[in-house]
């Protein structure tokens, strides 16, 4: 008998057995009563789930032993009416199987699928496709208000969007929430936003008599460029809406140094420019405020606002999770540093220490 004939007989035997098994399963389902379940062997469920992609199929041998225990408890002809203990056992089995199959399902399809937008701008690349979304939260120990000499702990949101499949880029702690609509690898640009919390005069004795300033939403655009892989420059220009109606521009540069696998250290200079409408509400003092606070009248103008430096240490746990810690220092300049609020009741030296964690997932737009 030739080798080819032997292989043909083996193939017929293998697929014949599978066809016979499927035929028997079909007959069993037809004979099933309306009130009965028709359990499928867990081994077949796992084989089907892991066949969704080749990468996950290779991990079918590593399924925990708890799934086998659940498989042994399944009996044909199982009625819907069950004892409480049996219900709990079945729920536990379902949870164990879901946890086992979750990695294969997660790698097969994006987490969220959204409809396409009603229109697309001709000057921008199409929005449809798969995007990687990063969300997270952090905590900062920073000055009570800009120019204060005391600090407090505050929450900080983390958010960014980029094209799925594009190279993951560095993110600094001062970066606003951004969407990289234009992404050429070393050059990225798109909209950016930042939230500035309100300043309540009755929360801090240094602000007595100066009045409240409402929360501000700053919206604008960002541009960042990597002249080399280990060095990033970024500029954000934002217009304020709410507490102030001025323009803020943040400039930063960071040298990025990998230390060991997954651990990266970065550091670089910072500079901020603000218009008069962005500076005056926080550092200016009019005649009425001077009488109420005891501080002299001060007309704050815009211009160079602060200069400083920052450093960050980040650790990539896996492709989804990242944790980081950082320290940022800035020295107030111009009228912000010369304001009586700073010279008499605060400090021009502003230091922020923070930690955070972020999670990335894919969103598909049809």
The owner of tokens 């102030």 is: 244
Tell me the two tokens of residue 182: 């234009």
Under a CB-based contact definition with an 8 Å cutoff, are residues 170 and 232 in contact? yes
- The pLDDT, as a whole number, for residue 130 is 85
Residue range 325-351, pLDDT digits in tens: 999 999 999 999 999 999 999 999 999
Tell me the two tokens of residue 270: 């910072």
DSSP string computed for 41-107: PHHHHHHHHHTT-HHHHTTGGG--HHHHHHHHH--TT-BS---HHHHHHHHHHHHHHHHHHHHHHHH
pTM of the model: 0.65
For the segment 80-90, the average pLDDT, to the nearest whole number, is 46
Paired residues of 177 in beta bridges: 193
Residue range 8-33, pLDDT digits in tens: 454 444 444 444 444 444 444 444 44
Residue range 174-227, pLDDT digits in tens: 999 998 889 888 999 999 999 999 999 999 999 999 999 999 999 999 999 999
Q: What's the rounded Cα separation, in Å, for the pair 347 and 332?
A: 9
Which range scores top for mean pLDDT: 33-47, 76-90, 93-107, 211-225?
211-225
Percentage of the chain exceeding pLDDT 90: 55
Please name each of the domains of the chain with its CATH number. 32-108 (no CATH), 114-365 (2.40.160)
- The pLDDT, as a whole number, for residue 7 is 47
Paired residues of 155 in beta bridges: 139
């Amino acid at each position: 008998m030739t080798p080819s004939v032997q292989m043909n007989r083996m193939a017929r035997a293998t697929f014949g057995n599978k066809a016979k098994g499927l035929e028997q399963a079909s007959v069993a389902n037809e004979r099933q009563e309306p009130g009965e379940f028709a359990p499928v062997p867990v081994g077949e469920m796992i084989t089907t789930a892991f066949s969704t992609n080749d990468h996950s199929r290779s991990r079918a041998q590593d399924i925990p032993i708890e799934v086998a225990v659940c498989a042994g408890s399944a009996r044909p002809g199982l009625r819907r009416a069950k004892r409480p203990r049996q219900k709990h056992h079945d729920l536990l089995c379902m949870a164990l199987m879901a946890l086992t199959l979750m990695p294969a399902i997660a790698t097969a399809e994006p987490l969220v699928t959204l409809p396409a937008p009603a229109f697309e701008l001709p000057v921008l690349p199409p929005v449809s496709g798969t995007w990687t979304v990063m969300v997270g939260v952090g905590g900062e120990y920073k000055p009570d208000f800009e120019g204060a000499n005391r600090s407090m702990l505050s929450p900080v949101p983390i958010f960014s969007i980029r094209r799925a499949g594009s190279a993951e880029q560095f993110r600094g702690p001062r970066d606003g929430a951004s969407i990289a609509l234009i992404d050429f690898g070393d050059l990225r640009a798109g909209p950016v936003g930042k939230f500035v919390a309100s300043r309540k005069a009755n929360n801090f004795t240094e602000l007595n008599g100066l009045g409240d300033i409402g929360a501000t939403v700053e919206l604008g655009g960002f541009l960042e460029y990597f002249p080399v892989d280990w060095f990033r420059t970024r500029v954000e220009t934002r217009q304020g809406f709410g507490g102030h109606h001025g323009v803020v521009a943040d400039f930063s540069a960071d040298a990025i140094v990998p230390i060991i696998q997954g651990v990266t250290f970065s550091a670089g200079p910072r500079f901020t420019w603000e218009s008069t409408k962005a500076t005056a509400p926080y550092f200016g003092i009019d005649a009425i405020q001077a009488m109420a606070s005891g501080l002299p009248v001060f007309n704050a103008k815009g211009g160079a606002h602060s200069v400083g430096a920052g450093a960050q240490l980040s650790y990539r746990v896996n492709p989804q999770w990242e944790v980081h810690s950082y320290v940022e220092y800035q020295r107030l300049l111009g009228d912000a540093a010369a304001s009586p609020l700073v010279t008499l009741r605060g400090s021009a030296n502003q230091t922020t220490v923070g930690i955070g964690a972020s999670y990335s997932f894919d969103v598909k737009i049809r």
